[in-house]
Amino acid sequence: MTTFRTNLARTAAFVLIAASWAAPGRAQEPLPSWNDTAPRKAIVAFVDRVTKQGSPDFVPPAERIATFDNDGTLWAEQPLYFQLLFAIDRIKALASQHPEWKDKEPYASLLKGDVKAALAGGEHAIFAIMTATHAGMTTDEFEKIVRDWLDTARHPTTGRPFTEMVYQPMLELLGYLRSNGFKTFIASGGGVEFMRVFAEKVYGIPPEQVIGSSGTQQFEMRDGKPVLVKLAMVDFVDDKADKPVAIQRIIGRRPIAAFGNSDGDLQMLQWTCSAPGTRFCLYVHHTDAGREWAYDRQSSLGRLDKGLDAAAAGDWTVVDMKQEWKTIFPVRP
């Protein structure tokens, strides 16, 4: 737990550093990790238009809503979604309690280290993995398990803590928007209870501003104490066309800015930028195989195909990570 808090404190320091340009008396330009190219200029111009008193594009602070996807937009998503890596580690940790898993898929393949074979079962296999590792416990117990995992788990390629696999330019963007009166939300296909464990300290986004996929929960009394128990049933999957549905349900306001990286974010961006008034939509395009990964139209994970076409047609901003970002991940203090 101490290491986890240290890692989160370090990442929180990155957020403060990223937003330090906005402190009183600081003359530093916004978004210092962004090259001074079209995407950065478009962001700054948009913020200037909607925040300038007397401007025909002025938007009151209460309406300055910005929604961000998480996986592939705020932090990395390769080689697998980080929550799935968490679930795979949990399968291994729980294996001694489930001897039947040795002969039952997808667990048998996971225990042999063959992730590809385990995931060959598609959505059914993923559902089995997630329910086996996310259900039957209280929400407090689940939070502790996630914190303990983040305490020790390291990214299989970079060796960094997962909370340091965040994008420095996006941390700066979050801070820049908030310093200009925006309220920032996560709208992700990831599990809402998983993301809420770290979102506030890593991104500065409080738990009530995190929207994600969720399982069914029920109230119980355990040992004389009221608890919420996670059940093995899906309540809502916050992806594709259901993203704007969830945003409307939870926030009650259409965003004026939306940020994503894949076709799973397309409907959120379409809904945001189709409304009247000044709007801003941005896709993070993974083009940097040297510092991160390069993938788009043909990727089985984080595919950006229809989104690229929609961005061109709608004149949305597309960030070429290799060209637009001076750095990808935060520099360690």
217: helix, coil or strand?
A: strand
Average pLDDT in the chain: 93
Distance in angstroms between the alpha carbons of the first and the last residue of the chain: 21
Lowest mean pLDDT among 25-34, 85-94, 145-154, 253-262: 25-34
pLDDT at 266 over 50: yes
205: helix, coil or strand?
A: coil
Between residues 4 and 49, the one the model is more confident about: 49
Q: Which residues contact 85 (CB under 8 A, 6 or more apart)?
A: 153, 156, 162
**DSSP class of residue 64?**
-
- 228 touches 218 (CB < 8 A): yes
Query: Would you state the pLDDT for residue 21?
Result: 39
**Cβ neighbours of 21 (radius 10 Å):** 17
Rg of the chain over all Cα atoms, to the nearest angstrom = 20
Residue ranges covered by each domain of the chain: 2-21+29-78+168-217+237-324
Q: What are phi and psi of 65, to 5 degrees?
A: -105, 130
pLDDT in tens, 108-163: 999 999 999 999 999 999 999 999 999 999 999 999 999 999 999 999 999 999 99
User: Where does residue 22 rank: exposed (0-12), middle (13-18), buried (19+ CB within 10 A)?
Assistant: middle
pLDDT in tens, 161-203: 999 999 999 999 999 999 999 999 999 999 999 999 999 999 9
As a whole number of angstroms, the distance between CA 333 and CA 107 comes to 40
Between residues 208 and 7, the one the model is more confident about: 208
Please list the residues that pair with 285 across neighbouring strands. Answer: 320
Q: What are phi and psi of 167, to 5 degrees?
A: -90, 115
As a whole number of angstroms, the distance between CA 145 and CA 323 comes to 38
| Cα separations in angstroms, 308 against 183, 186, 238 | 26, 21, 21
Query: Would you state the pLDDT for residue 10?
Result: 57
Assign domain 2-21+29-78+168-217+237-324 to a CATH class.
Answer: alpha beta
Helix spans in 95-198 (H): 107-111, 115-118, 122-134, 139-152, 168-179, 192-196
